[in-house]
Amino acid sequence: MDTSGLDRKKESLYIRTLSFLSDNVFAFTAGVMCLVHVVLLILMLVSGVKPLVFMNILSVVVYLFCFILCMNGTILPVYVSIVLEVTVYTILSSYYIGIDNGTHCFLFAIIPIIIFFGCNLLPRGKRWGIALMLLLNFSTFAVLYAIFYSVNPPYIVTPGIKLTLILFSSFVMVFSTIFYSVLHIFLTENQMISLEQLNRQLYVDAQEDALTSLLNRRGFLPLVEELMSEESEDTFCIAFCDLDNFKHVNDRFGHDGGDEVLKNVTLMIKDELPGCDICRWGGEEFVILMKGYDMEGARLKAESLRNRIEKQPTVFYGKPIYITTTIGLEEKSPVYSGPEEIIKKADARMYYGKQHGKNILVFED
């Protein structure tokens, strides 16, 4: 049995579930709070505690309204409503049925909500409000415990209801702590993954040409330098290509036409020289690192490329755009101490070809 596929499905379901909850966390919170008070409403009805029955009905209405606000993207009033409602309900329930029925747990249950909502809603300069609400939250608990610890409440619930209230309020507290902690970890991990992907993309963008997806100088020069190091025994040639009369293409067909020519030439270079590293040096200039080629092999391939570019036009809105290229070629040699020197030599030979007719390959002085 393939357990890896099952594990991937479980992980995918876990990720999708957390993604859904994180996207709808505010509405989910309002919905859960509403369900909590529905349960409390039932318990208070059974116990005959009428003031808390009415309070729970009001709380259900408040959270239904909060749910609607969340669905419309209005979150800050929901945040304030949750804190106020829980605080008021805890005070009233402590008075009517006593502090020893677990109602104080609801104050602790909203601590993760205060922190999670606050960090998402409040700007960085106003997050002192989170600390203030937490302080008020604990102060409320301390004052309630001090006042009602030894006071007999107006209503006495049965031991069964009391146990149910304690277990239920404790469950709500634990659930809140675990849920918002998991969600916080999930969102943090997602942010880290997004930052890593963004950094990788920025790194790629820093080394690639946006139009052709070829290497730019920053990405290309280290490759040449590596092959020129003393440890490397690999032979290679550098081909410096410049498209002839490219300005006329831009003047006649516009820059969009010129871009199409550049992309088409890129495809031809890749097809003619698979496995070679190609750099868009600038404008209409391309530099090719022909790894493993000696001068003779490089000359034949470069001539084949020059011939193909001459004969294969770029079709732009149904019109053929013919272009030619002049290529300068140079082979790895101990006389060159760095990549700029050998590229400069190939460039000089290309420039010589430009001055003597264009659309030619120059491979020697």
Q: Are 270 and 263 in contact (CB under 8 A)?
A: no
The 10 Å CB-count burial string (b at 16+, else e) for 81-108 is bbbebbbebbbebbbbbbbebbbbbbbb
What are the sequence ranges of the domains in the chain?
3-203, 217-362
Q: What pLDDT is recorded for position 1?
A: 46
In 3D space, the residue among 106, 87, 103 whose CA is nearest the CA of residue 49 turns out to be: 103
For 217-362, CATH number?
A: 3.30.70.270
Return per-residue pLDDT of the chain as tens, 365 residues.
445 555 556 667 778 888 888 888 999 999 999 999 999 999 999 999 999 999 999 999 999 999 999 999 899 899 999 999 999 999 999 999 998 888 888 999 999 999 998 888 888 888 888 999 999 999 999 999 888 888 889 999 999 999 999 999 999 999 999 999 999 888 888 888 888 887 776 666 667 888 898 999 888 999 999 998 867 778 999 999 999 999 999 999 999 999 999 999 999 999 999 999 999 998 999 999 999 999 999 999 999 999 999 999 999 999 999 999 999 999 999 899 889 999 999 999 999 999 998 999 999 88
What is the C-alpha to C-alpha distance for residues 153 and 82, in angstroms, rounded to an integer?
25
What is the C-alpha to C-alpha distance for residues 327 and 63, in angstroms, rounded to an integer?
74
Q: What pLDDT is recorded for position 121?
A: 86
What are the distances in angstroms from CA 362 to CA 94, 241, 326?
94, 10, 8
Token reading at 301: 């391939």
Q: What pLDDT is recorded for position 4?
A: 56
- Looking at residue 100, what DSSP letter applies? G
Q: What pLDDT is recorded for position 229?
A: 82
Q: Are 45 and 159 in contact (CB under 8 A)?
A: no
